[in-house]
A and B are shown apart, each in its own frame.
Chain A
Amino acid sequence: MVTKNRSVYRAVLLILVLICSMVVPVMAAEPIRIGAFVSATGPASFLGDPELKTLEMYVEKINAQGGVIGRPLRLIHYDDGGNANEARNFANRLLRSDRVDLIIGGSTTGTTMAAVPLVERAGRPMISMAGALVITEPVRPWVFKTPQSDRMAAERVLADMQSRGITGIGLISGTDGFGRSGREQTLAVAADFGIQVLADQTYGPQDTDMTAQLTRIRNTPGVEAVFNFGFGQGPAIVTRNYAHLGIELPFYQSHGVASDRFLDLAGSAAEGVRLPASALLVPDALPDDDPQKQVVQDYKAAYEARWNMPVSTFGGYAYDALMLAVAAIEAAGTSEPKAVRDALEQIQGHVGVTGTFNMSPDDHNGLAPESFRLLEVRDGQWVLVD
């Protein structure tokens, strides 16, 4: 019996050795773990849903092409439902339980900021897909973001107003996070463009009529244009009220409504409205020498073919986040967090869907205001103005 046991023991040992020798080469291709927390359901699902779809689709694509630095990507994703506390918990889970190399998320400013302290502490790069300036200013070592900040949208609009010789405007904004932050940024930079904000009105996200606010703006002497910083259905209602009141002044919207859905909601009232938007809305109108043209067209075609639904600007943020991560990992030659972070900071001239990224230690967003295209609605279509 003893000898039999020993031979079994030997056989087991041999098998173990064999397995170990097989594991070593497999270890070399250990997947790069990319964690994501997005608001795929809940009130912010219009952000998180296209983002998640984009991430899933491109991780599949990249893996089919052999992965990054010879290693496949593994996407671990959670849905925070737009709740900041859930986002914090999922970020913690990604960092401590799933031990990811890099995080993409969150979809909103609140969910991003809730995760920031944990990410900073754990020392993993995080690329946010949310808009507000506070995410990257002041610059935090580990936090990056792909959308332009709301300040840039305000600057783009104000610059266009300046070029039209406008000096006094009426501002109307939503009281949600997007509108509130946008209002602050507009008030902060208006003077730089020689523009005075003469009327400053707000509306709640659930309001169904903004005639009173618009009437007050119209009756303010010196107002030469109106700027609405808002998000969701509110701006569409403002646009309709604006048309009903017959206000003739130039009307600007923010990038918060830069989607085809706004055209459906506002209908003919949207004629003449100008807004800053991603190139993704007008891929075919871009001049052929525009470096973004190819990227934008490819992304739009791939997304629409795969999911059979119209592409959205927000999905583009996720595309850029993933591609920036891939570029940084390739440049670093490793998925080691510190090296990836340093590489992210060095990225120059990376052409994405949202714009061309030039990162630096002082700028973890890397976009210029010019990455916003100024569009105007003509005959129910987006037309590229600038």
Chain B
Amino acid sequence: MALRLPERVPGLPVLALVLLLLPLFLGNEFHLDIATQIALIAATVVGLNLLVGYGGQVSLGHAAFFGMGAYASAILTGTYGWTSIPALVCGALLVALLAWTLGRPILRLKGHYLSMATLGMGIIIAIVINNEGWLTGGPDGLAVEPLTVMGAELSIFDHYSLLGLEVSGALLWYGLAALLLLLAVWIAQNLVDSPIGRALRAVHGSEVAARVVGVDTSHYKLLIFVISAVYASVMGSFYAHYTGFITPQVASFEHSIELITMVVLGGMASTYGVILGAVLLMLLPQLLTDFQDYEMMMFGLILMLTMIFMPKGLLPTLSEAVRRLRPRPASAPASGQE
């Protein structure tokens, strides 16, 4: 009985606790650096999951939105001397406009036309970033200014005094990324539990049925597409400031696929699952370096086995397994199999 978990684990406080305690277990700045990047990418994936897991639409060009945010921040702060936040907002507005323009005609159609449209758009944006070297630095990449908030510069290399404590910029950045991830999850969960979320799940279940009961399906699909694109853009901006150097690879088709894989691997429509997916997919290249020549084979093998044995994704499959193992309490026989 002592092992019995509550039926609904309060996710957000648990995630906050994990993020808070994590730095204590990280050996050096390199680990902290990876954790910060994972948090930023995980927040992007939480946004993508709104579209894929709840909206039932696949975007094969999400890295392009991410890249647009990153490049908007890099160019506006670097070349034009803007401060970080207006640049970030400007990038997000641009991305929202693009997503809206693209999604409005496409999402009136039934089926998976959005994946085709985003695939094409993603590749076009990657080509533009590659070719317009005068603006974007071309294939060799672009250096990005550190994040500035209200005149204060947040660089991973500096040290700051916070409430009388000496704190490294790397740790502050980790804190910021963790906060962004929590915020991303909080917004996503509120969206899911709102009428928008219910409408979307109805669309995911059966678009025809949803329409019959009066849900404006194309409107909701468009809304969630724009929201998830803005998620990607904002995180792209932070990511660019954090890493200090971006190349067109952030907007590439391969990166889009990586983001989608995180969603599918972690578990569609499971906010915490996709975070797990992001953690796993970002950590694997670092963990598998010992296999050297077999690194890519191991990577493929892990993905294949997960998809074969856990088709619903990691977290949903695992939590189902835990639920099955747990002896059903006599007083509430039905609740365990809900």
Q: Does A271 contact B (CB under 8 A)?
A: no
A114 in the interface, Cβ–Cβ < 8 Å? yes
B131 within 8 A of A: yes
Map CB proximity to A onto B18-52 as digits: 1 under 8 Å, 0 otherwise.
00000000011111011001000000000000000
Check if B320 is an interface residue, CB within 8 A of chain A: no
Q: Would A96 and B140 be within 8 Å (CB), given that A78-B289, A110-B247 are in contact?
A: no
A85 touches B250 (CB 8 A): yes
B296 within 8 A of A: yes
| Cβ contacts under 8 Å, A109 to chain B | 140
Minimal beta-carbon separation of A86 from chain B (angstroms): 6
A62-70, A87-95, A238-246, A317-325 - interface stretch: A87-95
Cross-chain contact of A110 among B30, B31, B141, B157 (Cβ < 8 A): B141
B130 touches A175 (CB 8 A): yes
A247 part of interface (Cβ distance < 8 Å)? no
Given known A96-B28, A180-B139, A181-B140, contact A113–B286 (CB-CB < 8 A): no
Interface flag for A121 (CB, 8 Å): yes
- How big is the B interface, by class? 20 to 34
The minimal Cβ–Cβ distance linking A87 to chain B, given in whole angstroms, is: 9
In the complex, A134 has a CB within 8 A of chain B:
yes
Residues of A near B27 (CB, < 8 A) are 97
- In the complex, B148 has a CB within 8 A of chain A: no
A84 at interface by CB-CB < 8 Å: yes
Check: A79 CB closer than 8 A to any chain B CB.
yes
B140–A132 CB distance below 8 A: yes
When A109-B140, A110-B141, A117-B244 are in contact, do A83 and B249 touch as well, CB less than 8 Å?
yes
A93-B30, A121-B157, A134-B140 known; A86-B285 Cβ under 8 A: yes
Q: Which of A76-124 contact B (CB under 8 A)?
A: 78-79, 83-86, 88-89, 92-93, 95-97, 109-110, 113-114, 116-117, 121
Known: A84-B245, A85-B249, A93-B286. A177 touches B140 (CB 8 A): yes
With A88-B245, A92-B30, A93-B30 as known contacts, state yes or no: A113 contacts B131, CB within 8 Å: no
Do the beta carbons of A110 and B286 come within 8 Å of each other?
Answer: no
Which of A86, A114, A116, A180 contacts B133, CB < 8 Å? A180
Any chain A CB within 8 A of the CB of B143?
A: yes
Which of B29, B243, B292 meets A88, CB within 8 Å? B243
Q: Does B138 contact A (CB under 8 A)?
A: yes
Q: Sorted from nearest, which 10 A-B pairs have the closest CB atoms?
A: A177-B139, A96-B30, A84-B247, A97-B30, A177-B140, A109-B140, A114-B245, A110-B247, A96-B29, A121-B157
9 extra interchain contacts, Cβ-Cβ under 8 A, other than A79-B292, A96-B30? A41-B295, A89-B37, A89-B285, A93-B30, A95-B30, A97-B27, A110-B141, A175-B131, A180-B140
A binding-site residues for B, Cβ under 8 Å: 41, 78-79, 83-86, 88-89, 92-93, 95-97, 109-110, 113-114, 116-117, 121, 132, 134, 175-177, 180-181
Q: CB within 8 Å of A: which residues of B?
A: 27-31, 33-34, 37, 130-131, 133, 138-141, 143, 157, 243-247, 249-250, 285-286, 289, 292, 295-296
